[in-house]
Amino acid sequence: MSHSHHSHAGPQSGNSKRLLWAFLVTAGFMVAEVIGGLVSGSLALLADAGHMLTDSAALLMALLAVRFAQRKPNARHTFGYLRLTTMAAFVNAAALLVIVLLILWEAIQRFMTPQPVLGGTMMVIAVAGLMANLISFWLLHRGEEKANINVRAAALHVMGDLLGSVGAIAAALIILYTGWTPIDPILSVLVSCLVLRSAWGLMKESFHELLEGTPQEVDIAALKRELCSNIPEVRNVHHVHVWQIGEQRLMTLHVQVIPPHDHDALLHSIQHYLLDHCNIGHATVQMEYQHCTTPDCLINEAAPPAHAHAHHHHH
């Protein structure tokens, strides 16, 4: 089954090139936004710069993770470094949450004591920031690798950034035409809420993967039923564990079968079925002719009730 392991090498190098460019563009403009925010006294610009900072970090982590993921597995790390990408996404989301809190805090301070804001400077920088984000977003979305959680995470960041720049431009326009400065903290709060939403989703998804959660699209109860109904020799499927590392899905399961004429052919058809229907490229199948009684595979479940429960839950 090992041939399916390194099939991601092609897209990954494209990913890393795109991530590198997006990182350089974003980091460059982040510096411009910080300077612009300080000079013009605009919190919306600083909010956007904070955004771009997490963005640059996101892109950098995604880049490193993609590079690490290309390393071959070894005896100490039998899955290679695929998990790094998920960890990067998690750290990334956590950093975003912290930045959002800082901006909200500063916005509250600004409401108490309004600060002067230079609309013109703010406008120029915000437009430049918008351009930078459009370039990064385009770079990240040109790829066909929508599945990579890192590139997706990075694109999410940049998307939030785009909205942030639009917010800063809007605030600059309002300040230029009306002189009403409270719009600056108001829009910085709106930008932060958008960031919060994407960060929370990313955090949940990466946390689920770090906890060895079952991938979203896999329905274990249905999978058990389908294996029994589609492969005639299969009587019962139990002790199923499915998890995901990087983009690779792994599975272990016990299958009670009617003793086949050809053991290997049956094993092959089970693995083939899992690959075709659930995109599980690496399945470890324990085939049994008698009813399973091994206590050691019950990680922490009372076997019969749990299965009855799974079925019941599904109907």
Full pLDDT tens readout for the chain, 315 residues: 333 334 344 456 677 787 888 888 888 888 888 888 888 877 777 777 777 777 787 778 778 777 777 778 888 888 777 787 788 788 878 887 887 888 888 888 888 887 778 888 888 888 888 888 888 888 877 755 555 666 777 777 777 778 778 888 888 888 888 888 888 888 888 877 877 877 888 888 888 888 988 888 888 898 898 889 888 888 889 889 999 887 788 999 999 988 888 889 999 999 999 998 888 888 999 988 887 766 555 555 544 444 444 444 444
Name all domains of the chain by residue range, CATH numbers in brackets: 2-210 (1.20.1510.10), 220-314 (3.30.70.1350)
**Cβ atoms 153, 194 nearer than 8 A:** no
Q: What is the dihedral of CA 24, 29, 30, 35, to 10 degrees?
A: 140
Chain centroid to CA 149: 4
Q: Which of 262, 310, 307, 253 is nearest to 282 (CA)?
A: 253
**Cβ atoms 170, 142 nearer than 8 A:** no
Q: What is the DSSP letter of 290?
A: S
**Cβ atoms 14, 145 nearer than 8 A:** yes
Tell me, what's the pLDDT at 5?
39
- Tell me the whole-structure pTM to 2 decimals: 0.66
Distances (CA, A) of 292 to 237, 241, 295, 303: 10, 16, 9, 10
Chain centroid to CA 305: 34
Tell me, what's the pLDDT at 253?
92
Q: How far apart are CA 292 and CA 54, in angstroms?
A: 50
Tell me, what's the pLDDT at 67?
78
Q: How far apart are CA 32 and CA 122, in angstroms?
A: 11
**Cβ atoms 93, 54 nearer than 8 A:** no
